[in-house]
Amino acid sequence: MSASPLTVRVLQHGKYETVAMLRNGEQLVLAIVLPMLALAAIAVTPFFDVLGVPRLGTGTPGVIALCVLSTAFTGQGIATGFDRRYGVLRFLSTTPLGRSGLILGKILAVGAVLALQLVVICTTAVLLGWEPPLTGVLPALLMLIPGIGAFTALGLLIAGTLRPEATLAVTNLAWVLLAAVGGTIIPRSTLPDAIEPIVAILPSAALGDGLRAALTSGTFDFLSFALLSGWAVVVGLAAVRWFKWS
Amino acid sequence: MPPSSPAVEVSGLVKDFGPVPSLDGKMIRVLDGVSLRADKGRVTALLGANGAGKTTTLECAQGLQKASGGTVRLLGEDPWRAGADLRSRVGIMLQEGGLPPAVRPLPLLRHIAGMYSAPRDVDDLATRLGLHSFARTTVRRLSGGQKQRLALACALVGNPEVLFLDEPSAGLDPQSRNIVFELINELRTEGLAIILTTHLLDDAQRLADYVYIIDQGQTVRQGTVAELTAHASDAARELKFEASARLPLPTARLPHLEVIECAPGQYQVSGALTPKDLAVLASWWAEEGILPSSISLTSRSLEDVFLDISGRSIR
């Protein structure tokens, strides 16, 4: 007649949400297949050669940024939107898991799926000849923390305020746009001058820039880190303020 | 006898929704003074028409909605600020269920069980509620009654002291209904406080120890089923009979009663029926050569009580 400890509840819900995400075919396409296609396209086309480093050196960090968008933003946003529609959020919040446990479990699941994506993407990239500086691994992992935070918060904000059908449309469209011209795969510095200043302040560009700095030259891009953290805090607060549970 | 401290105590509960754009941004008052208490070892029913405020009352008592006024106590605490420990002592079955559609029943039940330090045995509970018969089906493909039984299992798996059931018999076939009702009776004996809403008078009559009638956001009447139905005079009865359609009604002979043909060939006489009235009816049948194919006399039901109060039908 009492609750399990918080860590047990959150870990268990994290596992549950991870399994749910991995069982969902559409989410797997978004999380693994599309980033793999992007990686393959980078490896076989000469587009990235103009940037002066090996193609995969510039391209792979962008694909990693895209993985964050897939899982934390689009995948989690859509799943949460439909959970909200079906009353699943209300139902789970009546158990000892509670609202905070529910959100923590979701973040944990995003982290677990992302870890799996990174293993698949990075292994493939290395097999294709990617040679990132090992000194860049830690800065890259640090950069992922506010990146996951900002995009999870954005996904939850949309899922918690729009109808699930609208969430589906908006997060998928945003994924395509941010993948193409959001500064993830294609560095914002190579984008047309007309849109570059706008793209520069987007969290997608900050994540792309930060990961590229880490995984091409092994440096920690503090500005991108600060920008991403700012997005995470502001959107996180907005999500807390406007998220509707039912 | 109920213990002195109630499991749920609500007094003067007020709940406003809004602002509503279609009403020029005004607030809507959904609850306007609901008071009730629910004790351990008893089934307490909230009875009312759709939209009367039953579910909103429950949601305030569960901590899913914040009360706009009045006080709400769940096991002596404010449910809106409930932490995990308070929630672990309360089982809730929501009206819409809220079960995730993509999972199978038993993994879901095990997942929920894992949120509690001492849950009920999942297999026992599943057997009891017949969940094994549809264990391989995902939630989205379950029938209404199957979902309902799974939702009840989820509400019970944590061994709660207080059980909230919002429309527990919705979508249940008669057999499932018996399983669920038997279990509810057993849980009452175990000492749980059970609070349920229903718009079905049968449910209230069969299950409830104590009934609150809610109408337009207020508790308008309360008592045991016996108290509520005995309240008015014993004379209040209803006679129904079936005969051929479109008979001229003997309204002149029974001026103090209401005689109507509620459907072709279905007649209803209601009001303070006396033995003499029955003789008048019988002689009218004799004069007109009518042999009714069925005659039934019923005493006052909860529905009559409800109709007296609200002038509206709940079914």
User: What is the rounded CA–CA span in Å between residue A39 and residue A24?
Assistant: 22
Tell me the β-bridge partners of A54: none
> Would you call B180 exposed, middle or buried from its count of C-beta atoms within 10 A (0-12, 13-18, 19+)?
buried
Q: In this complex, do B84 and A12 lie within 8 Å of one another by their Cβ atoms?
A: no
- B90 neighbourhood in chain A, CB within 8 Å: 94
Nearest residue on chain B to A10, alpha-carbon basis: B115
- B111 neighbourhood in chain A, CB within 8 Å: 12-13, 16
Q: Which of B208, B207, B201, B202 is nearest to B224 (CA)?
A: B208
Closest Cα in chain A, distance from residue B209 (Å): 25
Residue A208 is assigned to a structural domain of this protein:
yes
Q: Which residue among B64, B84, B97 places its CB closest to the CB of A6?
A: B84
Q: Which of A102, A41, A81 is nearest to A172 (CA)?
A: A81
pLDDT at B236 (0 to 100): 57
Q: Would you kindly state where each structural domain of chain B is located, as residue ranges?
A: 8-230, 233-299
Q: What is the mean pLDDT of residues A26-31?
A: 90
Q: Give the amino acid at A24.
A: N
- B62 neighbourhood in chain A, CB within 8 Å: 94
Q: In this complex, do B114 and A9 lie within 8 Å of one another by their Cβ atoms?
A: yes
pTM value is: 0.82
Q: Which of A91, A103, A41 is nearest to A66 (CA)?
A: A41
Q: In this complex, do B161 and A24 lie within 8 Å of one another by their Cβ atoms?
A: no
What is this model's ipTM? 0.86
Q: In this complex, do A3 and B92 lie within 8 Å of one another by their Cβ atoms?
A: no
Nearest residue on chain B to A13, alpha-carbon basis: B111
Report CA B35 to chain centroid distance, whole Å: 17
Closest Cα in chain A, distance from residue B100 (Å): 6
Q: Are A23 and A17 in contact (CB under 8 A)?
A: no
Which tens digits make up the pLDDT trace of A79-93? 999 999 999 999 999
Q: Are A133 and A215 in contact (CB under 8 A)?
A: yes
pLDDT at B171 (0 to 100): 81
- B85 neighbourhood in chain A, CB within 8 Å: 2-3, 96
pLDDT at A51 (0 to 100): 65
Closest Cα in chain A, distance from residue B276 (Å): 57
pLDDT at B312 (0 to 100): 56
Polymer length of chain A: 246
Q: In this complex, do B98 and A97 lie within 8 Å of one another by their Cβ atoms?
A: no
* DSSP secondary structure string for all residues of B48-97: --TTSSHHHHHHHHHTSS--SEEEEEETTB-GGG--HHHHHTEEEE-TT-
Q: In this complex, do B112 and A88 lie within 8 Å of one another by their Cβ atoms?
A: no
Residue A179 is assigned to a structural domain of this protein:
yes
Q: Which CATH superfamily is domain B8-230 in?
A: P-loop containing nucleotide triphosphate hydrolases (3.40.50.300)
Structural domain count of chain A: 1
User: What is the rounded CA–CA span in Å between residue B3 and residue A227?
Assistant: 59
Q: Are A61 and A221 in contact (CB under 8 A)?
A: no
Q: In this complex, do B94 and A94 lie within 8 Å of one another by their Cβ atoms?
A: yes
3-state secondary structure of B262: strand
B233-299 belongs to which CATH class?
alpha beta
Which tens digits make up the pLDDT trace of A29-78? 999 999 999 999 888 887 777 665 688 888 999 999 999 999 999 999 99
Q: Which residue among B62, B84, B118 places its CB closest to the CB of A1?
A: B118
Which tens digits make up the pLDDT trace of A121-167? 999 999 998 999 999 999 999 999 999 999 999 999 999 999 999 99
Report CA B262 to chain centroid distance, whole Å: 26
Parallel, antiparallel or unpaired: strands B218-223 and B210-215: antiparallel
Q: In this complex, do B88 and A20 lie within 8 Å of one another by their Cβ atoms?
A: no
pLDDT at B315 (0 to 100): 43
Parallel, antiparallel or unpaired: strands B294-299 and B236-242: antiparallel
Query: Is A220 in CB contact (< 8 Å) with chain B?
Result: no
Q: Which residue among A4, A6, A87 places its CB closest to the CB of B114?
A: A4
* DSSP secondary structure string for all residues of A69-127: IIIIIIIHHHHHHHHHHTTHHHHHHTSTTHHHHHHHHHHHHHHHHHHHHHHHHHHHHHH
* DSSP secondary structure string for all residues of B148-194: HHHHHHHHHTT--SEEEEESTTTT--HHHHHHHHHHHHHHHHHT-EE
pLDDT at B66 (0 to 100): 92
pLDDT at A50 (0 to 100): 67
pLDDT at A45 (0 to 100): 82
Best of B64, B115, B116, B147 to mutate (most A CBs within 10 Å, chain A): B115
- A22 neighbourhood in chain B, CB within 8 Å: none
Q: Where is mean pLDDT largest: A23-27, A61-65, A179-183?
A: A61-65
Q: What angle do CA A224, A228, A229 make, to 5 degrees?
A: 115
Residue A1 is assigned to a structural domain of this protein:
no
Residue A1 in this model has a pLDDT that exceeds 60 = no
Q: In this complex, do B115 and A95 lie within 8 Å of one another by their Cβ atoms?
A: yes
Q: In this complex, do B94 and A87 lie within 8 Å of one another by their Cβ atoms?
A: yes
| Residue A158 CB coordination number (10 Å) | 24
Parallel, antiparallel or unpaired: strands B266-272 and B236-242: antiparallel
Q: In this complex, do B99 and A86 lie within 8 Å of one another by their Cβ atoms?
A: yes
Residue A137 is assigned to a structural domain of this protein:
yes
Q: Are A139 and A151 in contact (CB under 8 A)?
A: no
pLDDT along chain B (315 residues), means of 10: 76 90 86 94 91 92 92 94 91 89 94 94 94 95 92 95 92 86 94 92 88 91 83 64 89 87 88 85 91 82 70 52
pLDDT at A226 (0 to 100): 97
- B112 neighbourhood in chain A, CB within 8 Å: 95
Domain span holding position A172: 6-242
Q: In this complex, do B100 and A87 lie within 8 Å of one another by their Cβ atoms?
A: no
Tokens read off for B87: 């929630």
Query: Is A25 in CB contact (< 8 Å) with chain B?
Result: no
Q: In this complex, do B102 and A8 lie within 8 Å of one another by their Cβ atoms?
A: no
